[in-house]
Structure 1
Amino acid sequence: MRRPSMLRILFGLTLVPFLFSLRFLASFPLWDPRQAELSSYESGPTENFIPTVNAAKSTGRDEASAVARVNVLIQSRFRTGSTLIERYFTKDANFFGVHEPGLMLQRDFGLRLMDDSRGTLETIREKLLVFMHDIYHCNFSSHDYLFASLNRNEFHLTRTYLTGLERPVTDDVIRPVCNARPNKIIKVCRMFSIFESEQLIRRNNVKVIFLVRDPRAMIASRMAFTNSNTPEKMFDSDKYEQFRLERRTERIATDYCQWLRENYIAPSNVPDWLKGRYLMVRYEDVESQPDAVNRLYDFVGVRMRFAVSRLIPRIDVGNNAERWRQNMRIEEVMRVQELCGRSTFDKFGYKTVGGLAELLDNTTSLVSGPSEEKFSHR
């Protein structure tokens, strides 16, 4: 038998480790700079991240949607949980958001910032609709009040994860960021009726999230936020029908319930221009149902990213949605129910109470179970 030459032996000793190393390296995925960029976003702050539209997370836990452009409008009121819903979207680096454009206009007009009465909102309505249209198109050059608000009021940036923008914020700074993010979202608390925005919705193919909250909970939150407690002298009478809230709170409760009724659309009455574009959501459902945020993303047609899912609180930490029951006196609760009317509570699935025992009974929820037919319209 012919012995192998020394040259062949040396070649074999060199080849075997080389082939083994190739096999070992092949077991690892190739490094992709787009995936690395997204991973740095998922593990750190979003403010400094300018997304690539088709970036995908390398772990496979989720993927960026393949990215049709989406325009979203959150139609809400003060103290209804709208900032929470807004942040569930703006945490996604494919969403660009402007927080409270109506507030920016109220400053520009010199109006009282907490006045959301219908008359006050009518003052800014026309300009607000133009502003929102321009936001969807990243056209900011004619809106100086935007830059005034972004540079003077930090919360306009923190609410939408834009605190990493170069300062001062100018059109040249913010427009590239807006253009880089395919999806746009606007949270507005200063538009009284969704029907005022028909042309905006038609021209920009906007998906509308109509966010509602139990009127009693909204009033409790607003009284605490503005420190507008009911005067103690009002509690002297034993007769609830003689009881009155603080004057501005009475007006706020009346306006809010009118706003609820005006923006509610029964499934059988959704106009053609809103079909597939209108979703009514209760804040209480978002607080109590683990899959509620997923349903919001399904509605707008975008897959929810892992960074967003980390924001969703655990449901078992307590019922935040009904905590107001411990903070309101029964006279205040009965008065809000009177101002809004039983039919308004029934329409939105909220149960009224007849006395203190019902109010404080934590074994019974005052929010009825959601109905897909009643609370979502596609």
Structure 2
Amino acid sequence: MSPRCRVNFNTMIFLVVLQGAAVVLFCNWYYQLSPCNSPPRKGKIHVLLLSSWRSGSSFLGQVFSQHPSVFYLMEPGWHVWTKIEKPGARVLRMAVRDLMRSLYQCDFSVMDSYMPENYNMSTLFMFHHSRALCSPPACSLTRRSDMSNETLCQKKCDSQGLEMVEKACHTYSHVVLKETRFFELESLYPLFQDPNLDLRIVHLVRDPRAVIRSREESAKSFDMDNAIVLEQRNVPAASIQYEVMQEVCRSHVRINERAILKPPPFLEGRYKMIRYEDVARNPLKEINDIYDFVGLEMTSQMEEWIYKVTHGKGKGSKKEAFQITSRNANEVSQAWRTVLQHSKVKRIQELCKGAMSLLGYRTVDSEKEQKRLDIDLLVPREPYEFSWVSAKSQRTGSS
């Protein structure tokens, strides 16, 4: 090689190194304005399925979990709530938020603080509800293109630590976490502003009369959560369920108000409210809309699964309260009308009057009206079109 060629080659290497250094310096200088480590447009999408207990969130969670592009975890905040003795929801919300931030980035080292010694994958709360944890690389039981079987997964899938869980998380385009432990949006603001996250919220609500009927069927399982929601206050046993429901209704109002009425810029286009009853009546349309919102494609296999699960027979037994089985979704959504005492209905309507008006649920004035299933109690409007501006102007106009 001639000296001239060596000079040109060395000069080219020097220029490439110089250019790389300039890029690094430029990134550091302008980090605050345009972070160079921000995710690419086609990076992971992060979804928070935000709801309250017994609102149909387990079903909607499976609508995400069974999708082949989704890594799903059910209520990781449970680990925080059960680790700290006698806390309140306000104290715990930041810890749950920070846990979620790490999980969205597939960093499971954060779980060390909330797990027992020598924990396994099966120690994760309801791990078998996640198809991703029943599939490679987490477990070889179910092909990633197939629907998972929760019973078989619970029996056959396990591994020491969470290394394979973390590895699996990195291989999916969507990370979806379901949570029932947030009662406002403000504590989540840092997640929306994190340049490493592309967060969307699907806010699932349900008629509070149906919720309390469902909660009554498995009341004991909520004892710990009730105490935390009520900030460990001494509440008469007969009033606990009603006070919890009042706080749940208030939280739905707070969340929807914050997202719809003058939301901060980082919230715009990243919040969608869904009523369980709309999903029950027209599951494919509603779930297609949800998929569009979070950037998922509907598959023929998912369509078949959704139809089968929502067009079964009956309302399900008490033993199936926390299981996803084939039921008649519309019958499930209306079950409270024939079994819930009208005195309880009246009390819930009084406690949740504002939330029911905002979310589009009509009240009933008598037991006869309650049991007449031909009377539609659902306001026929898309729930995410509700705004406090229109609600306030209506009240002003009628006063």
Structure-2-length-normalised TM-score = 0.67
Give 1:270 deviation, angstroms.
3.0
Output one character per residue of 1:274-293: Cα deviation in whole Å (capped at 9) or x when no partner: 11100011111111113110
Instruction: Provide the C-alpha distance between the structure 2 equivalents of 1:275 and 1:258, rounded to a whole number of angstroms.
Output: 22
Give 1:268 deviation, angstroms.
4.9
Instruction: Provide the C-alpha distance between the structure 2 equivalents of 1:373 and 1:94, rounded to a whole number of angstroms.
Output: 25
CA distance 1:140–1:245, shift in 2 (3 Å): closer
Q: Which residue of 1 aligns with 2:344?
A: 332
Which of 74, 91, 102 is matched with 1:99 structurally? Answer: 74
Give 1:101 deviation, angstroms.
1.3
Output one character per residue of 1:77-122: Cα deviation in whole Å (capped at 9) or x when no partner: 11111111111111112111121011111122145xxxxxxx7212
Which of 39, 52, 58 is matched with 1:77 structurally? Answer: 52
Q: Which residue of 1 aligns with 2:187?
A: 196
Give yes or no for the alignment of 1:131 onto 2:99. yes
Q: Which residue of 1 aligns with 2:362?
A: 351
Q: Which residue of 2 aligns with 1:6?
A: none
Instruction: Provide the C-alpha distance between the structure 2 equivalents of 1:305 and 1:67, rounded to a whole number of angstroms.
Output: 20
Amino acid paired to 2:248: Y
Q: Which residue of 1 aligns with 2:274?
A: 281
Q: Which residue of 2 aligns with 1:41?
A: none
Give yes or no for the alignment of 1:252 onto 2:244. yes
Q: Which residue of 2 aligns with 1:178?
A: 169
Which of 140, 151, 159 is matched with 2:108 structurally? Answer: 140
Contact 2:79–2:125 (Cα < 8 Å) also in 1: no
Question: What pairs with 1:216-255 in structure 2 (closer than 5 Å)?
Answer: 216-226=209-219, 246-255=238-247
Instruction: Provide the C-alpha distance between the structure 1 equivalents of 2:351 and 2:80, rounded to a whole number of angstroms.
Output: 30
Gaps (5+ residues) in structure 2? 1-40, 140-157, 222-235, 312-327, 388-399
Matched residue of 2:72: which SS? strand
Contact 1:337–1:352 (Cα < 8 Å) also in 2: yes
Q: Which residue of 1 aligns with 2:130?
A: 160
Contact 2:76–2:124 (Cα < 8 Å) also in 1: no
Contact 1:91–1:307 (Cα < 8 Å) also in 2: no
Q: Which residue of 1 aligns with 2:20?
A: none
Matched residue of 1:73: which SS? strand
Matched residue of 1:304: which SS? coil
Amino acid paired to 1:138: C
Range with greater deviation from structure 2 (264-273 or 363-372): 264-273
Instruction: Provide the C-alpha distance between the structure 1 equivalents of 2:372 and 2:212, rounded to a whole number of angstroms.
Output: 20
Contact 1:97–1:160 (Cα < 8 Å) also in 2: yes
Contact 2:46–2:198 (Cα < 8 Å) also in 1: yes
CA distance 1:153–1:285, shift in 2 (3 Å): farther
Output one character per residue of 1:106-161: Cα deviation in whole Å (capped at 9) or x when no partner: 122145xxxxxxx7212221211111011111111132256658645576222212
Give yes or no for the alignment of 1:205 onto 2:198. yes
Give yes or no for the alignment of 1:367 onto 2:358. no
Output one character per residue of 1:233-253: Cα deviation in whole Å (capped at 9) or x when no partner: xxxxxxxxxxx9922112112
Matched residue of 2:204: which SS? strand
* Percent of matched pairs sharing the same residue: 25
Output one character per residue of 1:5-63: Cα deviation in whole Å (capped at 9) or x when no partner: xxxxxxxxxxxxxxxxxxxxxxxxxxxxxxxxxxxxxxxxxxxxxxxxxxxxxxxxxxx
Matched residue of 2:273: which SS? strand
Give yes or no for the alignment of 1:262 onto 2:254. yes
Matched residue of 2:109: which SS? coil
Instruction: Provide the C-alpha distance between the structure 1 equivalents of 2:270 and 2:46, rounded to a whole number of angstroms.
Output: 10
Q: Which residue of 2 aligns with 1:291?
A: 285
Gaps (5+ residues) in structure 1? 1-65, 112-118, 229-243
Instruction: Provide the C-alpha distance between the structure 2 equivalents of 1:154 and 1:69, rounded to a whole number of angstroms.
Output: 22
Matched residue of 2:305: which SS? coil
Give 1:73 deviation, angstroms.
0.6
Contact 1:217–1:324 (Cα < 8 Å) also in 2: yes
Matched residue of 2:88: which SS? helix
Structure-1-length-normalised TM-score = 0.70
Instruction: Provide the C-alpha distance between the structure 2 equivalents of 1:137 and 1:100, rounded to a whole number of angstroms.
Output: 16
Q: Which residue of 1 aligns with 2:315?
A: none
CA distance 1:169–1:218, shift in 2 (3 Å): farther
CA distance 1:168–1:221, shift in 2 (3 Å): same
CA distance 1:311–1:336, shift in 2 (3 Å): same
Q: Which residue of 2 aligns with 1:214?
A: 207
Instruction: Provide the C-alpha distance between the structure 1 equivalents of 2:124 and 2:102, rounded to a whole number of angstroms.
Output: 22
CA distance 1:130–1:339, shift in 2 (3 Å): same
Instruction: Provide the C-alpha distance between the structure 2 equivalents of 1:369 and 1:91, rounded to a whole number of angstroms.
Output: 29
Instruction: Provide the C-alpha distance between the structure 2 equivalents of 1:307 and 1:201, rounded to a whole number of angstroms.
Output: 32
Range with greater deviation from structure 2 (310-319 or 186-195): 310-319
Instruction: Provide the C-alpha distance between the structure 2 equivalents of 1:152 and 1:169, rounded to a whole number of angstroms.
Output: 9
Matched residue of 1:92: which SS? coil
Contact 2:48–2:199 (Cα < 8 Å) also in 1: yes
Matched residue of 1:209: which SS? strand
Instruction: Provide the C-alpha distance between the structure 2 equivalents of 1:226 and 1:321, rounded to a whole number of angstroms.
Output: 19
CA distance 1:372–1:129, shift in 2 (3 Å): closer
Amino acid paired to 2:72: G
Amino acid paired to 2:199: V
Q: CA RMSD for the aligned pairs? A: 2.7
